[in-house]
Structure 1
Amino acid sequence: MKIIVPMAGRGSRLRPHTLTTPKPLIPIAGKPIVQRLVEDIAKVLNQPIEEVAFIIKDDFGHAIENRLLEIAKSLNAKGTIYYQDKPLGTGHAIMSAKDTLIGPCVIAYADTLFKADFNLDASADSVIWVKEVKNPEAYGVVQLNNNNEITALVEKPQSFVSDLAVIGIYYFKKGEELRNALQNVLEQKIMNGGEYQINDGIKMMMDAGKKFVPGEVAEWMDCGNKNVTVETNSRMLGFLHDDGEVLISKNITVENSKIIPPCYIGENVVLKNATIGPFVSLGNDSVVKDSTVRNSLIQSSATVLNASLDNAMIGNFAKFDGYFTNVSLGDFSVLE
């Protein structure tokens, strides 16, 4: 099994946090989004992962590329880096990794996290992972027949089609079938919104008689902007705490401070006269003094002083000193 992760976008809706760090490498409960994504996919598939391919921009840099290769290595898989030279849509991005599109593949967009427990339908040519939503008119949804097979993909339906939204994770029994369909999309210049889309390749496969079925996930979490990323961090902390995962490092300094779980606290964190939690992630080497922090995401080497924070997101090496609450502070920023 192979996992292909398109992640060439920088994440403009999450600025300033993505000015120095691509969105898929923003940590959620102590791990980068993309790492949690591929680990959770591997758990659901419950089979060896042969390769993890990351599709990125060519300006991400060697440090980020090496970090991605380490994520693949942690799954005992080969890591491959591909570059998308132009932002021409999901279909174009996936075709940047066409050499990996052979045999069983999962394609997963790197701003999605989920919880699921289902078995892949071995009789299907493809599984599209979906989540029931209350407002399907805001999403792309699948249309099903009486045999629970997907017959169409409908983008933001104005009248009810179904309430199963596509979350951006797909399984293909034969990756080369998607590759061939997307090659036709590119050659025929089939574009929507000026971009080549995976949906047009899927529609070609459906027209050729391929069987698509839904795989419904229990939880679907987005990391599109600051508020939903902080919310996703909180939800993930709750899930991990309920699963009994150890989230607080032993190598921390705690003086006259209180930790209210669930919280993730990394290595070498210093807490003095502080109340932390619930639903807080503190990255390695961070310092929090004379402060109360809850429902917040603070990255590595940050300093928080004299603060009362709620729904805050603070970047790497940032310093915050004040009495503000709803904060979004990027890497290397100072607010005193």
Structure 2
Amino acid sequence: MNIIIPMAGLGKRMRPHTLTVPKPLLPIAGKPIVHRLVEDIAKVCPEKIDSIGFIVHPSFGKEVEENLKAIAKEVGATGKIYYQTEALGISHALLFAKELFTGKVIVAFADTLFKAEFKLDTNQDGIIWVQQVEDPSQFGVVKLNDKNEIIELVEKSATFVSDLAIIGIYYFKDGAALAKEMQHLIDNDIKEKGEYQFTTALQGLSKKGARFVPGKVTEWLDCGNKNVTVQTNRRYLEFIKDQKLVSPKAKITNSVIIEPCFIGDDAVIENSVVGPYVSVGKQTRISDSRIINSIIQSNSSISKAVLENSMLGNFVNFENRALDLSLGDFNSIT
């Protein structure tokens, strides 16, 4: 079993945070989004994961690449890096990792997390993971027949087709067949809206007899912008609240931590109330502050602040404000 994760996008909706850190490496409850994604897929996967291919932009750098390889190693897989230099559609991007499209394959987009109670049925030709949503007009959806088979994929239809939204995780029993369909689009310059679309390749597989079924998750967590990322951090802390989330290396003095909260190594919290639903990165210092439902990354300093629904980057110096805030790396506001 191989996993391919396309993550070369520049994450413009998450700026300023993605000006210095690729979006999939932004933290959720103390771990990068892509790290959480890989762990969650491994939990529902009944077979050994051999390789995980990360499709990145060359500008991400060697440190990011080594971090991604370490994430793969944690689930017993080999991490491999592939470079995408231009955005021509998902089918085009995935083919940079073409060598991994052998046998059973999972394709997962790195800006989505989930909670699921099922084990992946690897005997199916293909599984498209979905969640029921109230307003399907904002999502790609799947249409089912009376056999619970997917017969159509529809992008953001103005008229109701289905309320099963595609969350961006797919399983394929025959990875080579999928790669062949995607290559067919490239070779014949078959584009929709100027790009080589992934859904077009899936429809090609379906026409050749592949049977797709839905994999219904119990919760779908988006990381597309600041507000939903803070909300995803909150939900994740609720999921893992029984784990030890406050590092024994953190120094907490004359302060109250209202759980669930993640507090990283060597964080210093003084004369403050932190939580609930706060993640604090390693070596961050918080003093004389009240913080609720927020993400504060590493090596930052927060003083005399009241923060809620906020997201602060790395190496931030922030003092004496009461705000709903989104502040990128290396900023100083006093």
Same structural fold, with TM-score higher than 0.5 when normalized by the shorter chain:
yes
Give the AA of the match of 2:69: L
Report 1:196-275 matches (<5 A): 196-241=196-241, 244-275=242-273
d(CA) in 1 for partners of 2:22, 2:123: 37
d(CA) in 2 for partners of 1:322, 1:13: 27
Alignment partner, residue 276 of structure 2 = 278
Residue 119 of structure 1, CA deviation: 2.9
Alignment partner, residue 186 of structure 2 = 186
d(CA) in 2 for partners of 1:290, 1:145: 59
Residue 122 of structure 1, CA deviation: 4.1
Alignment partner, residue 130 of structure 1 = 130
Matched, 1:294 2:289: no
Q: Is the 8 A contact 2:6 2:94 kept in 1?
A: yes
Q: Is the 8 A contact 2:245 2:262 kept in 1?
A: yes
Cα 1:130/1:335, change in 2 over 3 Å = same
Residue 199 of structure 1, CA deviation: 0.4
Deviates more, 1:102-111 or 1:76-85: 76-85
Give the AA of the match of 2:120: L
Alignment partner, residue 93 of structure 2 = 93
d(CA) in 1 for partners of 2:325, 2:85: 34
Residue 323 of structure 1, CA deviation: 1.6
d(CA) in 2 for partners of 1:62, 1:323: 37
Matched, 1:11 2:11: yes
| Matched position secondary structure for 1:18 | helix
Residue 125 of structure 1, CA deviation: 0.8
Matched, 1:147 2:157: no
Alignment partner, residue 177 of structure 1 = 177
1:169-227 Cα offsets, whole Å, 9 max, x none, are: 00000100100000111112121221111101000001111100000000100100111
d(CA) in 2 for partners of 1:86, 1:238: 38
Cα 1:73/1:123, change in 2 over 3 Å = closer
Residue 328 of structure 1, CA deviation: 0.8
d(CA) in 1 for partners of 2:287, 2:248: 19
State the identity %. 50
Alignment partner, residue 64 of structure 2 = 64
Residue 160 of structure 1, CA deviation: 1.7
Cα 1:248/1:146, change in 2 over 3 Å = same
d(CA) in 1 for partners of 2:118, 2:187: 36
Give the AA of the match of 2:71: I
d(CA) in 2 for partners of 1:293, 1:120: 39
Q: CA RMSD in A?
A: 0.9
| Matched position secondary structure for 1:148 | coil
1:78-104 Cα offsets, whole Å, 9 max, x none, are: 111001121111111111111111110
Give the AA of the match of 2:59: D
| Matched position secondary structure for 2:196 | coil
Give the AA of the match of 2:61: G
- In the superposition, the TM-score normalised over structure 2's length comes to 0.98
d(CA) in 1 for partners of 2:313, 2:216: 34
d(CA) in 1 for partners of 2:122, 2:78: 24
d(CA) in 2 for partners of 1:122, 1:34: 23
Return 5+ residue gaps in structure 2 as ranges.
none
Give the AA of the match of 1:52: I
Alignment partner, residue 327 of structure 1 = 325
| Matched position secondary structure for 1:59 | helix
Residue 74 of structure 1, CA deviation: 1.0
Q: Is the 8 A contact 2:255 2:272 kept in 1?
A: yes
2:306 pairs with 305, 308, 315, which one? 308
| Matched position secondary structure for 1:97 | helix
Q: Is the 8 A contact 2:123 2:173 kept in 1?
A: no
| Matched position secondary structure for 1:99 | helix
Residue 60 of structure 1, CA deviation: 0.9
Alignment partner, residue 159 of structure 2 = 159
- How many pairs are equivalent? 334
Cα 1:79/1:160, change in 2 over 3 Å = same
d(CA) in 2 for partners of 1:47, 1:182: 25
Alignment partner, residue 102 of structure 1 = 102
Residue 47 of structure 1, CA deviation: 2.2
Give the AA of the match of 1:133: V
d(CA) in 1 for partners of 2:185, 2:202: 10
Residue 324 of structure 1, CA deviation: 2.8
d(CA) in 1 for partners of 2:120, 2:248: 39
| Matched position secondary structure for 1:154 | strand
Deviating runs (4+, > 6 A) in structure 1? Answer: none
